[in-house]
Amino acid sequence: MEELDLILGGSGTVDVKSLSPLVLAYVGDAVYEIMARLYTLSSGNQPVNKLNRKTRAVVNAKAQAEMYFRIRPLLTEEEDAVFHRGRNANSHTSAKNADIIDYRHATGLEAVFGYLYLSGQKERAVELFRAGWQV
């Protein structure tokens, strides 16, 4: 299955530049969440509800928007363009518990993480996540 090759680190067959920014954000949301969970877990073995509470503190629109502003100076031109495409995409969903500006910035950030993951730049995604991580 070619789809699983993407997960396992294979090159895959996805033409990342042809994907909509919302599709990139869809994948980036999952990438960002797994990275946040792993970073939370790195603080030690804890009850799952405590781990989940710590992860929820950084996996929300406000925290993601704040992360964007911390890593913005580090973004390449290409990453910045992906961010803007994601931020400006016309989503038919609305923010449930977030300010619309934060929601759009979070979508842009997720698009960047999705883009990096699907284009095989996983190390870069980790680099940016580490640079922006704050609990």
pLDDT tens-digit series, residues 77-104: 999 999 999 999 887 676 677 788 999 9
Active site residues: 29
Rg of the chain's alpha carbons, rounded to an integer? 15
Q: pLDDT of 24-73, one tens digit each? A: 999 999 999 999 999 888 888 889 999 888 888 889 999 999 999 999 99
Rounded Cα–Cα distance for residues 30 and 24 (Å) = 10
Provide the H-helix boundaries in the chain: 2-8, 21-41, 48-56, 61-71, 77-88, 100-118, 122-132
Q: Burial-class residue 116 by CB neighbours within 10 Å (0-12, 13-18, 19+).
A: buried
CATH number belonging to domain 29-132: 1.10.1520.10
**According to the model, what pLDDT value does residue 12 have?**
55
